[in-house]
A and B are shown apart, each in its own frame.
Chain A
Amino acid sequence: MSIAELFRGLRWYLREFSGESRYDHYLARHRRLHPDQPVMTPSEFERWRSKLAENQPATRCC
């Protein structure tokens, strides 16, 4: 594995783990399932998502 590959892998992991790539996944999914409908902007997407998070608390353990 080259240094560049390692770096790409690390960047991929960080984006996936932190949730930064969520919008990309949303876009890919939206284009696949509803190609004819308008998409949310990143800002609209974040608001929509935080509204959902309001009622789905992530349990954190001890």
Chain B
Amino acid sequence: MTNLSTLRISTRSVLMWTTVAVVSASAWGVLALSRGERISAIWLLAAALGSYAIAYRFYARFIARRVLQVDDRRATPAERLDNGIDYHPTDRRVLFGHHFAAIAGAGPLVGPVLAAQMGYLPGTLWIVVGVIFAGAVQDMITLFFSMRRDGRSLGQMAREEIGPIGGAAALIAVFAIMIILLAVLALVVVNALARSPWGTFSIAMTIPIALFMGYYLRMLRPGKVIETTLIGVGLLLLAIIAGGWVEGSSWAGAFTLRPQTLVICVIIYGFAASVLPVWMLLAPRDYLSTFMKIGTIVLLAISVAVAAPVLQNQAFSEFAFSGDGPVFAGGLFPFVFIVIACGALSGFHSLIASGTTPKMIQKESQVRMIGYGAMLMESFVAIMALIAASIIDPGLYYAMNAPAGLLGTTVESASAAVNNLGFTITPDALAGAAAAVGEDTLIARTGGAPTLAIGMSEIFAGVFGGAALKAFWYHFAIMFEALFILTTVDAGTRVGRFMLQDTLGNVYRPLGQLSWKPGLWATSTAVVGAWGYFLYTGVTNPLGGINQLFPLFGIANQLLAAVALTVCTTLLIKSGRARWGWVTIVPLTWVVAVTLTASWQKIFSSDPELGFFAQAARFSTALEQGRWIAPANNRDDMVAVVTNSTVCGVLSLLFAVLISVVIVDAARVWVRALRSSVRLPSTEAPFVESKIVAAAGLIATDEERRALAGAGPVANGASHEHR
């Protein structure tokens, strides 16, 4: 930092960054000015990648150096507390991979698909601008402050730095969000597998495959993770191919399940996975899903670049302005910013950025690459999902994503409903699209996963194998999503169980003991029951579960982001960095405006399509008069709508109250800190001089290489720098 050579900017660097800026700006220009003509997805990629590069080079560097003042002379908790278990200095490139695998999941894939209802431009703008100024900032700053506090969790930081009230509100928020998250993700899987024998068979096979891998890794070849994973992936591909045979055989009936049956299967699976030993099911599934996740994302990036598909979606659809789209209700503001959480700004990441990752960082300066960089990568995944959803025919998109109640069950009724929405798809085309991917029907396959799979199968088939392999690629994409969603569900159920055991242990001591079996079963049942309830109502809701629950999930996730940004702001102010407070206050203000507006509309809107309580009132009035309102066509449906809408409304209210409590409580601390002439007490670990030498960014600079060569292999740990 103090070295003069880093202050002088070379001509080459100026030229390079000018080129990046010009290319990126031109791509944005093409996106902004093309109206009514079809443009290539390459422009989206160029605009996004160029913006990421500039943000990483300039803004992330500014935050690291000026705002956080990262100090590489200071030993990180990984170095000071190294115990070879959870605290151990890990190579930055390896940790980047771990952190990325932990933060990226189905979220960045599902949200953009649903938001494609508004056209491709609102989603693209929010994903790129949101990640640069909000999402990546939140991840990096949370990571930094947790690292300065020996890897404390977000909940602990909220309690210690804000106070017991803000801390308790944050803890309740984390738990509630977890439950909604698990329910929504499980709903995506159930919707993708319902009445699809091919998909159901392939996913069911992942359980015996994982059990086999667990046994192999424990008994036969201890520690041989790569070998075991390769065998597992081989079996997985076989399971996808075999799914096609099952579909055409007499077994098909056994694997053609109703959504309600699948819900029960997922609930039983979630419970089993959370009480069984980790090595049996959870760990091997995690290996498989990580491999599939990274492999497929790389494959998709290459395929999009090679195939350069043309976008079929409009830049802005009419639903962006009317706010009455069939996929989810509400206008562009705030709902694009709610539906796309992961990929732009995801509060959930703050749980990973405070916890596992900060205990493994070698050098403070690496928070830029790991915190900011990994989030940029997730944002890129979201852009690819948006591309996949935007290259398919809009008629097909609405036939798949509008609620079943609107579309009916036949290709004729769905075609007519899509025409009513102002798009066209013929019954033959709809039947043909389903046949091309080996499915009976694509009507109302909501949840985003099937739509993404259709888009991905088109992109992949364009590069590898053509139309003949389309059905394989479709089920490959379904497998890819379902696999890591189920991994999130079992890991999440376990995490939820720990949180519950920890909290309830304060009330009844034995419950806090992790090894006490009755406590373990009781808390697991409670967690599974809670998300299982929302999952079941989501499946049976005649108005479409995703339509109702996804906005709630988005609000919850953004609420957690607001909590994280509040904690970050508090820490910036308390640590004497108040002049840089705007770095987190700007995204905080934005996310609070978005969540509170969305909550307000969901609670108070008199439009029954939008407001939960208005909807409940409309249906209960009709119920009292003995009428049914379409799409409900019996008494049970009517009762279900009233109950669901009321529960969702109460939850929205709870979320809005929680966020207000955290912010008001934190603001009190901000004022006190700003007025105080001395620094308020904080929990930052004291300075210890670092002995480790390691590079900050992906590629070591010449200067860092010289330092590494001087340090020798011992101080350098397991690092492996190419020279």
Chain A residues engaging chain B, CB cutoff 8 angstroms: 1, 5, 9, 12-23, 25-26, 28-29, 41-43, 45-47, 50, 52-62
Tell me the minimal C-beta distance from B476 to chain A in angstroms. Answer: 21
From B181, B498, B720, A57 is in contact (CB under 8 Å) with B498
Contact A18 B351 (CB under 8 A): no
Q: Are A57 and B495 in contact (CB under 8 A)?
A: yes
A22 to B222 Cα, complex, angstroms: 11
* New A-B pairs, 16, CB < 8 Å, besides A57-B494, A59-B492, A61-B349: A1-B722, A13-B94, A18-B226, A20-B226, A21-B718, A28-B718, A29-B84, A42-B223, A46-B217, A47-B218, A50-B218, A59-B356, A61-B342, A61-B351, A62-B105, A62-B341
Asked if residues A5 and B105 are in contact (CB atoms below 8 Å), the reply is no
Interface core residue of B222, B287, B492, B557 (most chain A CB under 10 Å):
B222
Q: Chain B: interface residue count, which band?
A: 35 or more
Report how far A50 CA is from B225 CA in the complex, Å. Answer: 13
B91 close to chain A: CB less than 8 A: yes
Contact partners of A19 in chain B: CB under 8 A: 225
B652: Cβ under 8 A from any A Cβ: no
A25 touches B278 (CB 8 A): no
- Report the bound CA distance from A43 to B720 in whole Å: 27
A57 cross-chain contacts in B, Cβ below 8 A: 278, 491, 494-495, 498
B348 touches A61 (CB 8 A): yes
Taking the nearest CB of chain B, how far is it from the CB of A51, in angstroms?
9
Inter-chain contacts of A22 with B (CB < 8 A): 223
Task: Report the bound CA distance from A1 to B721 in whole Å.
Answer: 12
Is B355 an interface residue when CB atoms closer than 8 A count as contact? yes
Give the CA-CA distance A50 to B716 in the complex, in Å.
Answer: 27
A62 to chain B, nearest CB (A): 3
Interface positions, chain B 503-555, Cβ under 8 Å from A, are: 514
B69 to chain A, nearest CB (A): 28
Q: Is the CB of B222 within 8 A of A60?
A: no
- A33 and B94 CA atoms in complex are apart in Å by 24
Least CB distance, A19 to chain B, in whole angstroms = 5
Of A9, A18, A20, A28, which one neighbours B720 at CB under 8 angstroms? Answer: A9
Does any Cβ of A come within 8 Å of B102's Cβ?
yes
Contact assessment for B94 and A9 in the assembled complex, using a CB-CB cutoff below 8 Å: no
- Could you tell me the distance between the alpha carbons of A11 and B98 in the complex, rounded to whole angstroms? 16
Is the Cβ of B488 less than 8 Å from the Cβ of A20?
no
Residue pair B351, A26 in contact (C-beta under 8 Å): no
Q: Whole-angstrom distance between the alpha carbons of A9 and B699 in the complex?
A: 13
| Closest CB pairs A-B (n = 7) | A62-B107, A50-B279, A57-B494, A18-B225, A43-B222, A46-B222, A42-B222
Q: B615: CB under 8 A from chain A?
A: no
Residues of A within 8 A of B224 (CB): 20
B494–A46 touching, CB < 8 Å:
no
A19 to B287, CA, bound (A): 10
- Find out whether the CB atom of B105 lies under 8 angstroms from the CB atom of A16: no
Contact of B223 with A59 in the complex, beta carbons under 8 Å? no
